[in-house]
């Protein structure tokens, strides 16, 4: 996925999250029911992105092996030490692009982790609002 597409995906997700986190105080019963569905949606996204990250890391390991072989055994480069090869491998355009994709994916996953935490807190916020409404209306626990 192109980095611009990933950025657009993140921006759309941020807008969706800000909408989904809002609590309709006039419909708390429905909000309670919807919270689990919303949490599941973001959990599924999180799991998908973790799988994507695993695939990207596998590709990186494969590319690293390919580049190591290229720089180690190709007489044109005459690299002897690990740090020399590491520098060449890290500087390879394919490796740099893949590393950037991995970093962006890790950032996206970190964001999704925070979103999941927010939805856990949202459950408590809904419960607290319900308790406050009961208390204000003279209801007892």
Task: Give, in order, the Cα–Cα distances in Å from 128 to each of 28, 32, 134.
Answer: 11, 12, 10
Q: What is the mean pLDDT of residues 29-46?
A: 93
Residue 131 lies in a domain: no
Per the structure, how many domains does the chain have? 1
Residue at token pair 């030490």: 81
- Tokens of residue 32, six digits: 């309670």
Neighbouring C-alpha atoms within 13 Å toward the C-beta of 58: 6
- Tokens of residue 108, six digits: 């996206």
Residue 17 lies in a domain: no
pTM: 0.80
pLDDT, tens digit (0-9, with 9 covering 90-100), for 58-97:
999 999 999 988 888 876 767 777 888 888 888 899 999 9
Please state, in angstroms and rounded to a whole number, the distance separating the CA atoms of residues 140 and 60.
Answer: 59
Number of other residues whose CB lies within 10 A of the CB of residue 104? 16
Residue 116 lies in a domain: yes
pLDDT, tens digit (0-9, with 9 covering 90-100), for 110-138:
999 999 999 999 988 898 898 888 888 87
Residue 62 lies in a domain: yes
- Please give the pLDDT value at position 139: 64
Domain extent for 87: 33-126
């Amino acid at each position: 996925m192109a980095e611009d597409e990933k950025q657009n995906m993140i921006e759309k997700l941020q807008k969706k999250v800000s909408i989904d986190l809002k609590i309709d105080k006039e419909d708390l019963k429905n909000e309670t029911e919807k919270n689990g569905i919303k949490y599941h949606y973001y959990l599924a996204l999180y799991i998908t992105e973790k799988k994507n990250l695993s695939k990207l890391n596998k590709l990186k390991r494969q590319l690293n092996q390919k580049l190591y072989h290229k720089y180690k055994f190709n007489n044109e480069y005459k690299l002897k030490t690990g740090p020399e090869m590491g520098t060449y491998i890290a500087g390879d355009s394919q490796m740099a692009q893949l590393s950037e994709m991995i970093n962006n994916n890790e950032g996206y996953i970190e964001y999704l982790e925070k979103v999941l935490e927010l939805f856990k807190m949202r459950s408590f916020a809904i419960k607290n609002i319900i308790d406050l409404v009961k208390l204000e209306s003279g209801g007892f626990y």
